[in-house]
Structure 1
Amino acid sequence: MKPKLILMSHGNMAYETLQSARMIAGDLAAAEVVSMEEHDGLAGTQKKLTALLDKLGEEEVLILADLKGGTPCNAAMMEMGMRENIRVMSGLNLALVIEAALSPIEDIDALVAYLLPIGKDAVAAIELPELDDDEYEE
Structure 2
Amino acid sequence: MKPKLVLMSHGNMAAETLQSAKMIVGELIAAQVVSMTETDGMSGTIEKLTQTLNFLGDVPVLILADLKGGTPCNVAMMQMNERPNLRVLSGLNLAMVIEAAVSPIEELDELTNYLCDIGKSAVEKIELLEIDEEEEYEE
Counterpart Cα distance in 2 of 1:101 and 1:77: 23
- How large is the RMSD of aligned CA atoms in angstroms? 1.0
TM-score, normalised by the number of residues in structure 2: 0.95
User: Residues 1-138 of structure 1: matches in 2 within 5 Å?
Assistant: 1-138=1-138
Moved over 6 A (4+): none
Paired letter, 2:102:
L
Show structure 1 runs of 5+ residues with no match: none
TM-score, normalised by the number of residues in structure 1: 0.96
User: 1:101-130, CA deviations, whole angstroms, 9 ceiling, x for partnerless residues?
Assistant: 211100000001111111001111100111
Q: Which moved more, 1:1-10 or 1:111-120?
A: 111-120
Counterpart Cα distance in 1 of 2:100 and 2:136: 41
| Residue aligned with 2:81, SS | helix
Show structure 2 runs of 5+ residues with no match: none
Identity %: 67
Preserved CA contact (<8 Å) 2:22 2:29: no
Deviation at 1:29, TM superposition (A): 4.7
Number of residue equivalences: 138
Counterpart Cα distance in 2 of 1:131 and 1:10: 42
